[in-house]
Amino acid sequence: MKNIYDYRLEDLKEYFKNINEKEFKATQVYEWLYKKRVKSFDEMTNIKKEVIERLKQDFSIEPLKILKKQIDTDVRKYLFELSDKNKIEAVLMKHDYGNSLCVSTQVGCNMSCAFCESGRLKKVRNLNSYEMVSQIIQVEEDLNIRISHLVLMGIGEPFDNYDNVMNFIDIINEPKGIDLGARHITVSTSGLVPKINEFANNPKQVNLAISLHAPNNEIRNKIMPINKAYPIEQLIESVKKYINKTNRRVTFEYIMLKNINDQEKHAVELSKLLKGINCYVNLIPYNETSHIEFKKSEKEQIMKFYDTLKKNNINVTIRKEFGKKVSAACGQLRSNYEEEK
Ligand code: SAH
């Protein structure tokens, strides 16, 4: 049975048309789900009994189950259990500009990035759209807050689950529903070039972030196997095309790994690579995990790297460190949970 949170407003209109009911019922249902946040069809009191019964037959309305929660000053980390017992994570970060949620898009991940905890579990399956929607709804309800920003940077490669992710974005962007602005949504990819090209045709103003993490193929091949399929030149070319088409600025994420990609010469090489591109670089202090041998760069090294990019006219920021206490790195909570058992 399909979950009702999988449906875009248009799909729900289509559904009502097909059962010979008026299309505006779709809007009513949407408002019950996303504005009034009811948990059962029975609570939708302006919809007649026969239709409610029909909805109950046709859709499930089950949310994800919160299995575990970790709390730190500015972070809340959630471990969810899916209906097939698989586990995924979401992380809520409190910024001065609002509440940002990091959601997972797959169970496990096939990208095998050397530094990343998520990929230790290979992809089991894609998440359905409702499983992504439910991460938002459950966290909002648990904390009694509204999420203002969304990043698709949890477990999984969003562009390896392209259709469900795009459907999910349509659902949460819908003004009659959660109404999260496209400009407040960021999709992060390890660099699946064909999907970046496809994404360039998406009319929504969603932000694109690229996990670059290296200034050349030699280093990138070592830490991100996806680079062997789509080397840096191809990746940069597709990003340029994306910018030309959309007029939107792209973010390059760059994890600072001690003695791997954090030297002065790498900063110079990165500056050359990105020269003239409408982008900014987000330097990410590496979140060390017990299973992986990479070390985080020293603070001074990160500052030097930052200064070199600045000097070369590259827009650059350093990401605030969140959740050291709560194992906030991608995939860490699930991984630790499995070990505890
Ligand atoms: N697969 C997508 C999105 C999920 S990963 C992607 O690769 O972009 C989200 C971001 O977290 C990526 O930039 C990833 O490289 C980074 N990341 C993974 N493990 C990390 C760690 N231990 N510390 C800091 N950043 C990490």
Give percent of the chain with pLDDT exceeding 70.
94
Inter-CA distances, 59 with 30, 31, 65, 252, Å: 14, 17, 18, 40
List pLDDT tens digits, range 113-138: 999 988 788 999 999 999 999 999 99
User: C-alpha 88: how far from its chain's center?
Assistant: 12
Query: Judging by beta carbons within 10 Å of its beta carbon (0-12, 13-18, 19+), is residue 188 exposed, middle or buried?
Result: buried
Active-site annotation holder among 89, 117, 131, 253: 89
Dihedral (CA of 158, 162, 168, 171) sign: positive
C-beta 211 within 6 A of ligand 1:
yes
Please, which pLDDT band fits residue 92 given cuts at 50, 70 and 90?
very high
pLDDT at 341 over 80: no
List pLDDT tens digits, range 170-199: 999 999 999 999 999 999 999 999 999 999
Would you list the domain boundaries of the chain? 2-60, 65-340
Instruction: Name which residue sits closest to atom 13 of ligand 1, judged by CA.
Output: 211
Residues 335, 120 contacting (CB under 8 angstroms): yes
Active-site annotation holder among 233, 288, 330, 338: 330
CATH number of 65-340: 3.20.20.70
CATH class of domain segment(s) 2-60: mainly alpha
Please indicate, yes or no, whether the overall pTM of this predicted structure exceeds 0.85.
Answer: yes
List pLDDT tens digits, range 54-72: 999 999 999 999 999 998 8
Instruction: Name which residue sits closest to atom 7 of ligand 1, judged by CA.
Output: 190
C-beta 100 within 6 A of ligand 1:
no
C-beta 89 within 6 A of ligand 1:
no
